Amino acid sequence: MGLLTLAQLPPPEFLAQRSDMNYQQQMGLAVLTPILCAALVIWNRRSLSTLILALIGVILCVWGVIQAQGFMRVFSLPAWIGLGAPLLAGVYLAMMGMLWQKRG
């Protein structure tokens, strides 16, 4: 989880450009990721609500990447997918798999 959080941190320019909305989003994700992961682990691991939250996390990761790429295309800018969103979606999928397996 620590590597995932580090992968989502904005570049060092964030310190000089705190008003940049993209950097603010990145920082928000980096702060919320360990909190969300901890909440999913602490809650009852067999509960349906935890599975639903993890599924929402996967959907939001994929949706965010699609939206970001579309936004970049509008301005004819190159759009590279970093490691943060795919890793986060992978963590949520792994959690869903572990929870589903324990349900049985």
One DSSP character per residue, the chain reads -HHHHHHHSPPGGGGT-TT-HHHHHHHHHHHHHHHHHHHHHHS-TT-HHHHHHHHHHHHHHHHHHHHHHHHHHHTT------SHHHHHHHHHHHHHHHHHHHH-
Query: Could you report the per-residue pLDDT of 63-76, keeping only the tens digit for each?
Result: 888 888 888 888 88
Statement: residue 88 has pLDDT above 60? yes
Range of the domain at 45: 2-103
Query: Could you report the per-residue pLDDT of 9-60, keeping only the tens digit for each?
Result: 788 887 887 787 778 878 888 888 888 777 767 766 556 777 888 888 888 8
User: How many structural domains is the chain composed of?
Assistant: 1
pTM: 0.56
